[in-house]
């Protein structure tokens, strides 16, 4: 027998899956061809979900009786665990107010019932939350300045374009299905170009690979624009009709001669020309802007500059970044944020360590995220979580770095153990993800726990207890294109309505080359070129490994390889050989890894799998400072600077 499920991980693809059930156990998970974007295959993580489901699981509630981190845990019943949690919560609310309560969740499982609906409890209380800016917020903010909303090309369009440019996007690893659709385009004669400072897996497979210095992309984009303008590739009629402020943009773009671009980016004029010519000669094109290129101190400027290129060529939203804003889903209703009279205090997710370390929160409730590995400034954050005056509750499927800092650990079911609905941020195909097997051990869903807690502390708002599917139905009232909510519940695959690509929600209703909103916010109305930070040692790029989703799947594949890529010239200068242990260090701390000498990285640049744990037991994010971007407050993981010495 097989059961239909949907992969709920934070991933571009959101695959349709089939789980094979034998004698009440999940025997395997495979791709389901009924989704035309994710088709019939899964990545190395998806195919091992039935294995991960059984390893390293939290099966019972626990109370910590030893100290944090990692002190002894005592197994307790749900009643006791919830009673203690509710008592602590009520006490903190009474003594310190709702601002001292922080709920911290992220996208471990993006299901509407798992990630969003349980937030109604915290919305009713007016508890503090983060700005959720760690992943993609700065790019969204950047796109809003010029395009209104940030949605763009739909994945189904990929096979029919003539050029696909992956800009800071390692799609072969981070979005295998979008990559596979791109290979279909190539089979039909399309070109694939990649812009990435290192020879990523995707760059290695591209027709054109352009490697700017990390963070210098905006200058490169202006360089491309200048060539498009001076060689007559620009669609003047389109710009006349659909854009605003092009003349001012043009003035700035014309300053970016190939020589100047080379100074700023290190890209030789010949390669710059190849990229620009590819854009000019191959229409239509799609520019796939990665979250990776956006995680730098100037990431928003990168996204602004890159996203305007397709408009020059006469394309309506000829980019893809994330389509989450294309759908008409009422998330504020689901989370209760718009139902509540209480407005939460919002703190930076990227700089959360500083707030936690200062003891601003006395009660922290965590689910679907592993902050004690994934957020910046780990030493500081962990010190904060270990504070005696901070009560930490972690609702998790698996034991991890964060459960070591929990005062109470609560067991959660994985997606294979609960019904849910997952919305993709690339494609619009939606269907129910079914409970494949009963929850393991004593695990209980996020929604169940949040409602029990609400009852225990006496939350009176009725909407906190609304029937879950009724709430989801209401949030999807205007969302479905070709069927009803009952069709969804009956197991049908439906599509989400997508906003029109030629609608621009800017103040002028046009594509704003010159952003009026930026201007009123006191920002440069045109994409600007921030000075690159002084090179203090090496820039440490870090990104996905095919076998892991952030810190997940170590249960299946073992530790994330604690390695760093070093260019041969740098290695020679440092006297380091492949296999040597090296210390990466900066003012934040030290992480020990093994060197791998390779010309995949240029001199002055290192690369490591994101979220590795060093050989000295320190997470990579020990080295990440809690620095936020000016636009959108996003993360800067690809601007980490380190020095290197032999261990
Ligand atoms: N296997 C796997 N897939 C994943 C994930 C995972 O953990 N594992 N996580 C998912 C999530 S949440 C995210 S956010 C995405 C991220 O996936 P992507 O958007 O692909 O981003 P990254 O993999 O972080 O980085 C992509 C590339 O950007 C390059 N890069 C770094 N700095 C710069 C720069 O300044 N300019 C340019 N042009 N390029 C730069 C890096 O070298 C890297 O090759 O992946 C998703 N997919
Ligand atoms: N150095 C560095 N750090 C980074 C990044 C980077 O590029 N470099 N990228 C950042 C980005 S883009 C992102 S998106 C974040 C991701 O940061 P996190 O969201 O913290 O990443 P995960 O490690 O995937 O943690 C998800 C957790 O949710 C749990 N989980 C899974 N399913 C369920 C469920 O159904 N219920 C519950 N309760 N828990 C569940 C998993 O076991 C796991 O512990 O990391 C950021 N950190
Ligand atoms: S992690 Fe991404 S590619 Fe892998 S199965 Fe899930 S949705 Fe598909
Ligand atoms: Mo992310």
What are 133's two structure tokens? 């800016």
Q: Tell me, which fold does domain 62-134+329-429+437-483 have in CATH?
A: Rossmann fold (3.40.50)
What are 432's two structure tokens? 């129910």
CA angle in degrees (0–180, nearest 5) for 271-276-277? 95
The residues that bridge with 64 in the sheet, in sequence order, are 73
Mean pLDDT (the chain) is: 98
Helix (H, G, I), strand (E, B) or coil at 410: strand
109: number of Cβ within 10 Å: 25
Residues 99-112, mean pLDDT to the nearest whole number: 97
For residue 378, pLDDT over 80 is answered with yes
What proportion of the chain, given as a percentage, has pLDDT over 70?
100
Contacts of 204 (CB under 8 A, 6+ apart): none
Classify residue 306 as exposed, middle or buried by CB count within 10 Å of its CB (0-12, 13-18, 19+).
buried
| Contact between residue 78 and residue 444 where contact means Cβ atoms under 8 Å apart | yes
**Residue range 439-481, pLDDT digits in tens:** 999 999 999 999 999 999 999 999 999 999 999 999 999 999 9
Residues 345-369, mean pLDDT to the nearest whole number: 98
**Residue range 222-255, pLDDT digits in tens:** 999 999 999 999 999 999 999 999 999 999 999 9
Sign of CA dihedral 592, 596, 597, 598: negative
DSSP assignment of 485-544: HHHHHTT--EEB----TT---STTSSEESS-HHHHHTTS-SS---PPPPP--SEEEEEE-
What are 287's two structure tokens? 């520019």
Q: State the pLDDT at residue 536.
A: 77
CB-proximal residues (5 Å) to ion ligand 4: 135
Task: Indicate which residue's Cα is closest to atom 37 of ligand 1.
Answer: 168
Q: State the pLDDT at residue 405.
A: 98
Q: State the pLDDT at residue 450.
A: 98
Q: State the pLDDT at residue 530.
A: 82
What is the spatial distance between Cα 282 and Cα 335, in angstroms, rounded to a whole number?
44
**Residue range 136-152, pLDDT digits in tens:** 999 999 999 999 999 99
For residue 161, pLDDT over 90 is answered with yes
Helix (H, G, I), strand (E, B) or coil at 66: coil
Write phi, then psi, for 186 (nearest 5 degrees). -65, -40
**Residue range 207-230, pLDDT digits in tens:** 999 999 999 999 999 999 999 999
414: number of Cβ within 10 Å: 24
Instruction: Specify the domain boundaries for CATH 3.40.50.740 within the chain.
Output: 62-134+329-429+437-483
For residue 533, pLDDT over 90 is answered with no
Ligand 1: atom nearest CA of 107 is 12
What is the spatial distance between Cα 217 and Cα 522, in angstroms, rounded to a whole number?
22
- Which of 118, 24, 162 has its CA nearest to residue 410? 118
- Give the ligand with the smallest distance to the CA of 417: 2
- Give the ligand with the smallest distance to the CA of 322: 1
From the CA of 104, how far away is ligand 2's center (Å)?
Answer: 11
From the CA of 171, how far away is ligand 1's center (Å)?
Answer: 8
Of the pLDDT bands very low, low, confident and very high (cuts 50, 70, 90), residue 535 is low
Residue of 4, 5, 19, 42 with the most ligand 3 atoms within 8 Å of its CB, for mutation: 42
**Residue range 51-85, pLDDT digits in tens:** 999 999 999 999 999 999 999 999 999 999 999 99
Sign of CA dihedral 393, 350, 119, 5: negative
Instruction: Specify the domain boundaries for CATH 3.40.228.10 within the chain.
Output: 137-321
From the CA of 108, how far away is ligand 4's center (Å)?
Answer: 10
**Residue range 276-299, pLDDT digits in tens:** 999 999 999 999 999 999 999 999
Classify residue 95 as exposed, middle or buried by CB count within 10 Å of its CB (0-12, 13-18, 19+).
exposed
Q: State the pLDDT at residue 531.
A: 80
DSSP assignment of 565-600: EE-HHHHHHHT--TT-EEEEEETTEEEEEEEEE-TT
What is the spatial distance between Cα 647 and Cα 353, in angstroms, rounded to a whole number?
28
Ligand 1: atom nearest CA of 195 is 38
Asked whether 479 lines ligand 2 (CB < 6 A), one says: no
3-state helix, strand, coil in the chain (%, to 5): 35, 20, 45
What is the spatial distance between Cα 637 and Cα 143, in angstroms, rounded to a whole number?
20
Helix axes 258-265, 269-281, angle to 10 degrees: 110
* 589-597 vs 581-586, strand pairing mode: antiparallel
Q: What stretches of 219-370 adopt beta strand conformation (E)?
A: 243-244, 285-289, 319-320, 346-347, 363-367
What is the spatial distance between Cα 242 and Cα 506, in angstroms, rounded to a whole number?
12
**Residue range 567-601, pLDDT digits in tens:** 999 999 999 999 999 999 999 999 999 999 999 99
Task: Indicate which residue's Cα is closest to atom 27 of ligand 2.
Answer: 369
- Which of 178, 470, 478, 432 has its CA nearest to residue 327? 478
DSSP assignment of 105-118: E-TTS--IIIIITT
Q: Assign residue 189 a region: left if phi > 0, alpha if psi is -120 to 50, beta otherwise? A: left
Q: Cα 321 to chain center, whole Å?
A: 11
CATH number given to 538-646 = 2.40.40.20
For residue 422, pLDDT over 70 is answered with yes
Q: Tell me, which fold does domain 137-321 have in CATH?
A: Dimethylsulfoxide Reductase; domain 2 (3.40.228)
Question: Which H/E stretch holds residue 395?
Answer: strand 391-396
For residue 532, pLDDT over 80 is answered with no
Ligand 2: atom nearest CA of 135 is 12
- 394-406 b/e (C-beta count within 10 Å ≥ 16 → b): bbbbbbbbbbbbb
**Residue range 3-39, pLDDT digits in tens:** 999 999 999 999 999 999 999 999 999 999 999 999 9
Q: State the pLDDT at residue 246.
A: 98
Contacts of 121 (CB under 8 A, 6+ apart): 450, 451, 453, 454, 459, 464
DSSP assignment of 446-466: HHHHHHHHHHHHT---GGGG-
| Contact between residue 214 and residue 266 where contact means Cβ atoms under 8 Å apart | no
* 346-347 vs 363-367, strand pairing mode: unpaired
For residue 487, pLDDT over 90 is answered with yes
Asked whether 286 lines ligand 1 (CB < 6 A), one says: no
Question: Which H/E stretch holds residue 141?
Answer: helix 137-147
Ligand 2: atom nearest CA of 624 is 1
Q: State the pLDDT at residue 87.
A: 98
* 432-433 vs 16-22, strand pairing mode: unpaired
* 511-512 vs 243-244, strand pairing mode: parallel
Ligand 3: atom nearest CA of 12 is 2
Instruction: Specify the domain boundaries for CATH 2.40.40.20 within the chain.
Output: 538-646
- Which of 591, 492, 473 has its CA nearest to residue 542? 591
| Contact between residue 467 and residue 446 where contact means Cβ atoms under 8 Å apart | no
Write phi, then psi, for 640 (nearest 5 degrees). -65, 130
From the CA of 542, how far away is ligand 1's center (Å)?
Answer: 8
Task: Indicate which residue's Cα is closest to atom 8 of ligand 2.
Answer: 610
Ligand 3 pocket: which residues have CB below 6 Å? 7, 9, 11, 13-15, 42-43, 45-46, 176, 549
Residue of 170, 172, 265 with the most ligand 1 atoms within 8 Å of its CB, for mutation: 170
């Amino acid at each position: 027998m097989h059961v239909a499920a949907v992969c709920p991980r934070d991933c571009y693809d959101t695959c349709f899956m089939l789980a094979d059930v034998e004698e009440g156990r999940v025997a395997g998970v495979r791709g389901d061809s009924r989704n035309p974007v994710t088709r019939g295959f899964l990545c190395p993580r998806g195919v091992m979900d039935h294995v991960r489901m059984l390893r390293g699981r939290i099966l019972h509630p626990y109370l910590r009786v030893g100290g944090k981190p990692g002190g002894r845990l005592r197994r307790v019943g749900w009643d006791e665990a919830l009673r203690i949690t509710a008592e602590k919560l009520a006490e903190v609310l009474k003594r310190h107010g709702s601002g001292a309560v922080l709920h911290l969740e992220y996208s471990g499982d993006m299901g509407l019932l798992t990630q969003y609906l349980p937030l109604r409890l915290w919305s009713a209380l007016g508890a503090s939350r983060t700005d959720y800016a760690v992943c993609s917020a700065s790019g969204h903010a950047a796109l809003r300045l010029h395009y209104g909303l940030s949605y763009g090309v739909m994945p189904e369009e990929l096979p029919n374009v003539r050029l696909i440019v992956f800009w800071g996007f390692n799609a072969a690893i981070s979005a295998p299905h979008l990559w596979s659709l791109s290979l279909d385009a190539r089979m039909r004669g399309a070109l694939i170009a990649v812009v990435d400072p290192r020879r990523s897996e995707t760059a290695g497979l591209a027709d054109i690979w352009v490697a700017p210095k990390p963070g210098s992309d905006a200058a490169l984009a202006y360089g491309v624009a200048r060539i498009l303008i001076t060689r007559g590739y620009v669609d003047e009629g389109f710009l006349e009709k659909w854009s605003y402020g092009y003349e001012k943009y043009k003035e700035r773009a014309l300053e970016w001669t190939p020589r100047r671009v080379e100074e700023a980016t290190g890209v030789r004029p010949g390669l710059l020309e190849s990229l620009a010519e590819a854009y000019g000669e191959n229409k239509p094109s799609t520019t796939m802007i990665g979250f990776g290129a956006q995680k730098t101190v100037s990431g928003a400027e990168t996204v602004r500059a890159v996203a305007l290129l397709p408009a020059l060529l006469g394309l309506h939203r000829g980019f893809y970044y994330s389509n989450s804003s294309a759908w008409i889903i009422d998330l504020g209703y689901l989370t209760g944020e718009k139902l509540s009279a209480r407005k939460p205090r919002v703190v930076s997710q990227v700089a959360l360590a500083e707030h936690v370390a200062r003891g601003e929160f006395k009660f922290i409730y965590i689910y679907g995220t592993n902050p004690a590995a994934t957020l910046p400034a780990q030493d500081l954050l962990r010190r904060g979580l270990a504070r005696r005056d901070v009560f930490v509750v972690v609702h998790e499927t698996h034991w991890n770095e964060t459960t070591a800092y929990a005062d109470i650990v609560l067991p959660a079911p994985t997606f294979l153990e609960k019904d849910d609905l997952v919305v993709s941020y690339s494609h619009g195909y939606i269907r129910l993800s079914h409970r494949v097997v009963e929850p393991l051990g004593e695990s209980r869903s996020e929604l169940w726990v949040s409602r029990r807690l609400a009852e225990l502390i006496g939350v009176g708002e009725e909407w906190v207890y609304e029937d879950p599917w009724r709430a989801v139905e209401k949030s999807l009232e205007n969302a479905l294109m070709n069927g009803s909510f009952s069709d969804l519940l009956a197991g049908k695959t439906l599509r989400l309505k997508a906003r029109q690509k030629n609608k621009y929600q800017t103040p002028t209703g046009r594509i704003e080359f010159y952003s009026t909103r930026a201007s009123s916010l006191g920002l440069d109305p045109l994409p600007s070129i921030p000075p690159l930070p002084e090179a203090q040692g090496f820039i440490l790029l870090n990104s996905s490994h095919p076998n892991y989703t952030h810190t997940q799947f170590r249960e299946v594949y073992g530790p994330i390889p604690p390695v760093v890529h070093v260019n041969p010239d740098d290695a020679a200068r440092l006297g380091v050989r492949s296999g040597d242990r090296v210390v990466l260090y900066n003012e934040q701390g030290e992480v020990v890894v093994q060197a791998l000498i390779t010309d995949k990285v240029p001199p002055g640049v290192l690369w490591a799998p994101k979220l590795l744990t060093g050989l000295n037991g320190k997470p990579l994010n020990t080295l990440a400072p809690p620095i936020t971007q000016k636009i959108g407050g996003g993360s800067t993981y690809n601007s980490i600077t380190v020095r290197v010495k032999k261990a």
